[in-house]
Every structure is written in structure tokens, then in C-alpha cells.
Amino acid sequence: MPLKQKSLGRLISFEGSEGSGKSTQISRLAAHFQKAKREVVTVREPGGTELGEQIRNIIVHNSKGDEMCAETELLLFAAARAQLVREVIAPALIAGKIVLSDRYLDSSTVYQGIARNLAADPVAQINHFAIGNVMPNLTVVIDVPTEVSLKRLKQRASDLPDRMERENVDFYKKVREGYLVLAKGMPERFIVVDGTKSADAIEKKIWAEVKARLV
């Protein structure tokens, strides 16, 4: 299918709790764009650059990270993001590519701001300092009830849960609610899809929305 505005780069971020099915939907959306002859770059946060993967290791996997305070966590996520934007995302957008990001600034707003209770203003300022002016054109929230998300997480975990995954149910409820509130406040940037539907149904809904809004 021919797409309008072929030369425009587009950034689409995917957000949601653990086990919401982001990665499946990212690869399906990438396939749609590739079929439409668009070049696609997929990235994940934290990570996506050599430096970012090292930071990811400190935040997510390092057992010493158990003592990490919320402020440090926010700054480390922001540091990884700043690198990813300048090294990968911005150049890809300038080259007219489609960038699909598994998490982006809204993860910090929700996990560090809302769930870890850091004040909203500094979180927003740090987020914007990290990304410069590279805002997503569209953000897809895959919404699943917290119980479903935790059940999927347990089934998936072949090894010990990582530091973020050891959080309690209340934390994940705040994450879910946080995304829904954000999305409601910015309907022009966000779409929310029901993550309990079949992968095929979710894929169809996302592609329809993307076509209507971006291409």
C-alpha cells in the first residue's frame, strides 16, 4: 500500500506494563511498515546503544541496584534515553525512517513519577532535557489488568525476576492507572488498546490507527 508523506520520519513509542505484549506488536507493526516499503528501526529502552545497554545492566540487573534511590533511577533512565535519541533515533528520523521504540519518556513519567512518587515537574523537565525536541508522533499504550500482567510475567520468567519485576502489586496498579491518566490527557498523541484481546485483533487496531493518524 502506498503511504503518503514518504519522506517523513516518524517516532512511535509503545508503552504498558510488563507482560503487556509490546514486543509482539512492535514486530507486527514493523512488518506492516516494511510491506509499505518504509525503512524501520526498532529500539528498546533502557538500552539500544552500547552505553545504554551498560546503563540498563546497572538499573535492571545489578543486584546492588536494590539500594538505588528513585532519583538515581530516574537520572539513569534519562541518561540512557539521551544517548539513544542522539545516537540512533534522531539520525533515523532525519533519514526519513520509521522508529518504533519499546518504551520512551512516558515510562519515566509513569514508573518514576507516578509509581515511585517523584514530583511531576522535575521528572518532566529531566525527560525533556534528555529527549531534546524528539517527541513521539504517536504513543501506543497496551493496557492489561494488573493481575493479567503479573500472571504473564510469572509464566515468562525463566530465571529470577529482575529488580523492577520484584515490585509489588500496588506498584503495578499505579503504573497501569498512570498510563491511562496520561493517555486520557493527551488523546492527540496516545492510543490505548485492550491487551487482553488476541494478538491479531490488537495488530489490526494499531495498524488502522497508525494509518489514520500518521501515514
Q: Which residues bind ligand TYD (CB under 6 A)?
A: 18, 44-46, 60, 77, 102-103, 107-108, 111-112, 164
> Among residues 108 and 139, whose Cβ is nearest to ligand TYD?
108
| Distance (Å, whole) CA 12 – CA 169 | 28
User: Does the bond joining 136 to the residue before it have cis omega, within 30 degrees of 0?
Assistant: no
> Among residues 41 and 130, whose Cβ is nearest to ligand TYD?
130
> Among residues 29 and 215, whose Cβ is nearest to ligand TYD?
29
The distance of closest approach from Cβ of residue 203 to ligand TYD in the complex, given in angstroms and rounded to an integer, is: 18
The distance of closest approach from Cβ of residue 82 to ligand TYD in the complex, given in angstroms and rounded to an integer, is: 12
Q: What secondary structure does DSSP assign to 21-51, as a single string?
A: -HHHHHHHHHHHHHHTT--EEEEESS-SSHH
Q: Are 177 and 51 in contact (CB under 8 A)?
A: no
The sign of the CA dihedral 110, 116, 122, 126 is negative
> Among residues 126 and 191, whose Cβ is nearest to ligand TYD?
126
The distance of closest approach from Cβ of residue 206 to ligand TYD in the complex, given in angstroms and rounded to an integer, is: 17
